[in-house]
Amino acid sequence: MIQIVDKIELMILTGYTDAQASKLIRKAKQKLLQDGFEWYGNKKVGRVPLKTIEDILGVELSAKHDIINPVLEDTVNE
């Protein structure tokens, strides 16, 4: 199931301010619009998929325990 987050949940998960969380929501909506999800063009929509936020930030957010786990791409553990 897709996890959807709003500004308040982003503030809790990341520790970002109100303005920073709002900016993240706007960026996520722009990204979703570019991907063809026209519904996110509505100004009243304030919730976006958590996966989109994670893609923008480059980190994995765990809403279950409020823990942020870094996502390291192109790395190998030896």
Domain ranges in the chain? 4-70
Alpha-carbon distance of 78 to 74, in angstroms, equals 13
pTM for this model (two decimals): 0.76
Q: H helices then E strands: how many in the chain?
A: 3, 4
Q: Is the pLDDT of residue 70 over 90?
A: no
Structure tokens at 2: 């897709």
Beta strands per DSSP E along the chain: 4-5, 48-49, 59-62, 67-70
- Between the CA atoms of 13, 17, 22 and 27, what dihedral angle is there, to the nearest 10 degrees? -70
Taking all residues of the chain, what is their mean pLDDT, rounded to a whole number? 84
Q: Is the pLDDT of residue 4 over 60?
A: yes
pLDDT of residue 1: 76
